[in-house]
């Protein structure tokens, strides 16, 4: 498989489609040095991006959280994504929209005079967790914790928030795991490195309260699916010790979709009927 910097195709960059290999930024781009970057990960199913407009709206909101106004409207971002999909002839793919502080007059922490740039790329991509999507993923427990909202804008989909995700996923993969589960700064169950988490006990569903984590669009979609089934959903603080009594577990995210979990650390879960139903039903929903 070729690297992501060496492919055929088109990428939308600052208002125009350019050759994939020419979509470059300067080494002194502010984002490279100070993490002034926000992004969205989206899935294209049968030629249509699931919840596309909501993703575009969230991208702009993330930019606001970082004091980094993105110079495009939702409609312009939507048009950019469609242009990329059309130019590359894609029907089922992953779509990445990203905005960042570029190179400019400032090269320090302050970057108000530097332009905010934006790009959209898309490529064919399979299951995020590979075979784990069907067998039940195995998760490590990360040594890092999700930070307090008082320390960083946790509700932004910002690149800087993913530094400990990369470190934790590397550590998990070294142990033969697919991913890692974070606790938050208070010690409550939080999320995986790139996905929200759900548990099932006695026919009811429990998921962490999203006050220190991103309230994912797939998370919101799945909660709606559960409520349509009249299944009680508890959005609450979950102590790690409670996991021993949980029967089923799954992850949600645009990349992860709905992925069953079979093990987290020393805790084991069955890939039960509700998990299978939600996973299968989500697959159908996104292709409607």
Distance CA 90, CA 92 (A): 6
Among 172, 156, 170, which Cα is nearest to 58's? 156
Distance CA 234, CA 198 (A): 10
DSSP H/E element including 221: helix 217-228
DSSP H/E element including 167: helix 163-174
Tokens (6 digits) for 245: 């009594």
Is 133 part of the annotated catalytic residue set? no
Tokens (6 digits) for 40: 């969205």
Distance CA 238, CA 157 (A): 23
Neighbouring CB atoms inside 10 A of 202's CB total 8
Active-site residue among 138, 157, 175, 209? 157
Tokens (6 digits) for 112: 């108000």
Please report, for residues 139, 258, 262, 263, 271, the alpha-carbon distance to residue 250 in angstroms, rounded to integers and kept in the order given: 11, 7, 8, 10, 9
262 touches 137 (CB < 8 A)? yes
Catalytic residues: 157
């Amino acid at each position: 498989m070729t690297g992501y910097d060496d492919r055929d195709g088109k990428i939308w960059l600052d208002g125009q489609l350019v050759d994939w290999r020419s979509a470059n930024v300067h080494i002194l781009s502010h984002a490279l040095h100070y993490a002034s970057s926000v992004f969205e990960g989206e899935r294209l199913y049968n030629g249509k991006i699931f919840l596309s407009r909501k993703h575009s709206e969230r991208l702009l909101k993330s930019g606001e959280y970082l004091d980094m106004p993105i110079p495009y409207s939702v409609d312009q971002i939507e048009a950019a994504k469609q242009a990329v999909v059309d130019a590359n002839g894609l029907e089922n793919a992953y779509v990445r929209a990203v905005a960042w502080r570029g190179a400019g007059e400032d090269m320090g922490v302050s970057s108000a005079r530097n332009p905010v740039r934006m790009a959209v790329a898309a490529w064919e991509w399979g299951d995020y967790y590979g075979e784990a999507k069907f067998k039940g993923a195995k998760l490590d427990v990360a040594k890092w914790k999700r930070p307090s909202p008082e320390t960083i804008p946790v509700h932004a989909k910002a690149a800087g928030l993913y530094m400990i995700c990369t470190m934790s996923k590397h550590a998990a993969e070294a142990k033969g795991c697919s991913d890692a589960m974070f606790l938050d700064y208070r010690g409550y169950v939080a999320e995986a490195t790139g996905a929200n988490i759900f548990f099932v006990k006695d026919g009811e569903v429990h998921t962490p309260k999203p006050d220190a984590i991103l309230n994912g669009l797939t998370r919101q979609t799945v909660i709606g699916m559960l409520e349509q089934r009249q299944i009680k959903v508890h959005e609450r603080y979950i102590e790690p010790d409670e996991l021993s009594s949980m029967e089923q577990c799954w992850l949600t995210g645009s990349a992860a979709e709905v992925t069953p979990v079979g093990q987290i650390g020393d805790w084991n879960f069955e890939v039960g009927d509700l998990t299978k139903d939600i996973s299968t039903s989500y697959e159908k929903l996104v292709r409607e």
